[in-house]
């Protein structure tokens, strides 16, 4: 499965292991930390280069869950993401939830959407409940990734 056209280096093997071991949604720095736990000399730029490479090979994809760093996960099991702007809670949205949007985008604009690349922001059930009045999103608060209670970058 590995190395279609490239070499199998220890750094790459280790990065793949980290990706398979973690259950998805890792930032590049998360992965770097895992890899560097066993191989301290692997440089962050090597991580970035290999993530790029693996993405070009179709092994993994990156998504943006918010204003912070990108998240990487294996390309199997395609899904989008819903991210709470208040608490950072992330839920995986099955691809079929986007079917209606995909259909109308194609019909109205000839557009074929890829719902995976950017998350859909909003408010999770808990934060909707905690909210006093429906403010229609006027009161945006600075988005804090990895905030307390957030599940981003956890392993």
Partner DNA sequence: AACTACCCGCAACCTGGTCGCAATTGCGTC
Partner DNA sequence: GACGCAATTGCGACCAGGTTGCGGGTAGTT
Interacting residues toward its own copies by CB under 8 A: 55-58, 61, 64, 75, 82, 84-85, 91, 93, 97-98, 100-101, 104-105, 108-125, 128, 137-140
Of 64 and 146, CB closest to its own copies: 64
Instruction: Report residue 126 as tokens.
Output: 């808990």
Q: Do residues 71 and 28 lie in contact, with contact meaning Cβ atoms separated by under 8 Å?
A: no
List the single partner that 10 binds among DNA, its own copies, none, CB under 5 to 8 Å by kind: DNA
Task: Identify each DSSP E strand in 23-88 by its residue range.
Answer: 26-27, 60-63, 71-74, 79-84
| Closer by beta carbon to its own copies, 20 or else 137 | 137
Residues that bind DNA (CB under 7 A): 3, 6-12, 27-29, 39, 41-46, 48-50, 52, 68-70, 145
Residues near 112 by Cβ (< 8 Å), separated by ≥ 6?
Answer: 102, 105, 106
């Amino acid at each position: 499965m590995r190395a279609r056209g490239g070499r199998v280096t220890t750094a790459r093997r280790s990065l793949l292991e980290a990706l398979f071991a973690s259950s998805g949604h890792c930032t590049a720095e998360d992965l770097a930390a895992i890899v560097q736990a066993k191989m301290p000399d692997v440089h962050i730029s090597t991580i970035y280069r290999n993530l790029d490479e693996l993405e070009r090979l179709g092994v993994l994809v990156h998504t943006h869950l918010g204003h912070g760093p990108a998240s990487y996960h294996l390309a199997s099991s395609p899904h989008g993401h819903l991210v709470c702007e208040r608490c950072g809670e992330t839920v995986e949205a099955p691809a079929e939830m986007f079917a209606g949007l995909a259909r109308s985008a194609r019909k109205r604009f000839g557009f074929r959407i890829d719902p995976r690349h950017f998350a859909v922001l909003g408010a999770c059930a808990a934060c909707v409940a905690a909210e006093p009045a429906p403010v229609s999103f006027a009161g945006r608060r600075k988005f804090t990734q990895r905030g307390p209670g957030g599940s981003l970058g956890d392993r």
